[in-house]
Structure 1
């Protein structure tokens, strides 16, 4: 999700993408976006590596500092899905990768990997599987979840990890919930401005339902025993606080679910400086009386 002014997405396309236009600016090239991401990663001690995600080849930034069996994985928001409200982007690589910036700001965990979404940081035309539907209406599809899950399996095999903490920004918040719903190795879940209820999200923005995508709110029973903490910006008008509250209202058991509203935070601002502090907040299930 890009900076500047927010517009409504094209009603037929992936509705978790509010387009941030840059008026009177020249759009950065793919090579510039990749170089900027490399700089963010390199400055924080990460190295860029490709991962086999089955259907998709995925780009990752990795920082492995200990032989701990615990891994923290960050998943990005939806990126640059649209150019205008009626024109789909040919390449969804994010112009402001806040998910990567959060991973780079993680000074709490030893082993941190930023796992790129399908077709993010992949040159246009380089992967025949990169159909625009995967960064529009199929952005949270079973295919996407399966590819990310395959990548997690590969990371575990490569490094010997047995436990995974998931962190997702914006649309990546939806994906970490969907990943956790199908896996049995997730220790904790954190989301930042996460789209936790896709149906509530589309209703809020008065746009068409997202055909082809899964809704995390439909899988609350699968993740209700996993400690999870959802950080919400009080001034976020892209994924407003009621989206998180809608998700919470659909969970039968809520002892492991915590919502944390950050006063003054918007969708893109108010997160990075305090992120290590937020990471230190315990993510645990409340004891039943």
Structure 2
């Protein structure tokens, strides 16, 4: 409750500074839920998970294993019109993590973010959640709560691998610090230092978000693999590998020929 109240106060300040109050649009004009992205004949169940006041769109593939792989997509479309307007639906057009979710052995979970894939409730879907607050304590709490609720229904699962693409990798790193079952994190093209990423592209700082690069301590029992694409212009390895090396024990992989989406390029983990 304290997190919700303090986040609401910060949002009101954001309204004053950025004018986002005029964009209380909610999650209405959705570009489609998780089900619309799945191919015919898929073996996934479409579910909704409660997460700290949100309903999170998700898909699951159940199995008998004790370890689950959880996939988190990137930021999608927080802004439109060349960054001049806040999008009323941040759901990503491309879903590379959904393809990986369908390819791994179950159990596996595809976990949506608050307000993505057409989920609400509308009253909670302030645009700050997918712009300046996209990696905030509020969002991390919602994601970890949704994951916790899923794990509570899977008594045989006691180990979690989080895999995130781009901003989803940022969330995976943050979530791993508060979910004790997480023992591995794999990120693809994650901007490890979000302040450096904002400066690199000339974006307004994500001043209501948590920055992984600012952490002074990391859970030592979590294995972290941070993967970058050699040709990625969004998260260039020449800039961000430096920050990845600051995470104790992190394995760093730069994939030749890979861009930000890793489309058509196999990695050592495929």
| TM-score, L = length of structure 1 | 0.77
Q: Within 2, Cα distance between the matches of 1:155 and 1:35?
A: 18
In structure 2, do the counterparts of structure 1 residues 33 and 49 end up closer, same or farther at CA, with 3 Å as the change threshold?
Answer: closer
Q: Give the conservation status (yes or no) of the 8 Å contact 2:35–2:46.
A: no
The answer to whether 1:158 aligns with 2:153 is yes
Q: 2: CA distance between counterparts of 1:240 and 1:43?
A: 37
Is the Cα contact below 8 Å between 1:33 and 1:95 reproduced in 2?
no
2:269 is aligned with 1:278: yes
Please report how far the alpha carbon of residue 79 of structure 1 lies from its aligned counterpart in structure 2 after TM superposition.
Answer: 1.1
Per-residue CA distance 1:113-152 (angstroms, 9 max, x = gap): 00001111125x7531111100000000000000111011
* CA distances 1:175-214 after superposition (whole Å, capped 9, x unpaired): 0000012222211110011121112212222333211000
The CA deviation at 1:104 is 2.0
Q: Tell me the equivalent position of 1:234.
A: 230
For the Cα contact (< 8 Å) 1:49–1:61, is it kept in 2?
Answer: yes
Q: Does 1:52 align with 2:46?
A: no
What number of residue pairs does the alignment pair up? 242
1:78 to 66, 75, 78: 75
1:149 alignment counterpart: 144
- Indicate the SS of the match to 1:182: coil
Q: Is the 8 A contact 1:167 1:191 kept in 2?
A: yes
Are residues 65 and 121 of structure 1, via their aligned partners in 2, closer, same or farther at CA, if it must alter by over 3 Å?
same
Structure 1's 98 and 148: CA in aligned 2 closer, same or farther, altered over 3 A?
Answer: same
1:69 corresponds to 2:66: yes
| Residue in structure 2 matched with residue 183 of structure 1 by the alignment | 179
Cα separation, 2, equivalents of 1:34 and 1:186:
24
Contact 2:54 2:121 in 1 (8 A): no
The structure-2 alpha-carbon separation of the partners of 1:56 and 1:86, relative to structure 1 and needing over 3 Å to count, comes to same
Pairing of 1:99-248 with structure 2 (within 5 A): 99-106=97-104, 109-122=105-118, 126-160=121-155, 161-219=157-215, 221-248=217-244
Gaps (5+ residues) in structure 2?
A: 1-17, 20-28
Contact preservation (8 Å) 2:33, 2:118: no
User: What is residue 255 of structure 2 aligned with on the other side?
Assistant: 262
Report the more deviating stretch, 232-241 or 217-226: 217-226
**Which sits farther off after the overlay, 114-123 or 138-147?**
114-123
Q: Would the aligned equivalents of 1:100 and 1:114 in 2 still touch at CA under 8 Å?
A: yes
Alignment partner, residue 30 of structure 1: 30
In structure 2, relative to structure 1, the CA distance for the partners of 1:33 and 1:155 (3 Å cut) is closer
Partner Cα separation in structure 1 for residue 192 and residue 102 of structure 2: 24
Q: Which runs of 5+ in 1 are unaligned?
A: 1-11, 14-28, 280-289
Q: Is the 8 A contact 1:178 1:219 kept in 2?
A: no
1:214-261 CA distance string (max 9 Å, x none): 00112252244421111110000011113432323433x3xx311111
In 2, distance between residues paired with 1:75 and 1:220? 24
Q: CA RMSD in A?
A: 2.2
- 2:175 partner SS: helix
Deviates further, 200-209 or 154-163: 200-209
Instruction: List, as ranges, runs of 4+ consecutive aligned residues in structure 1 with deviation greater than 4 Å.
Output: 31-35
Q: Is the 8 A contact 2:34 2:58 kept in 1?
A: no
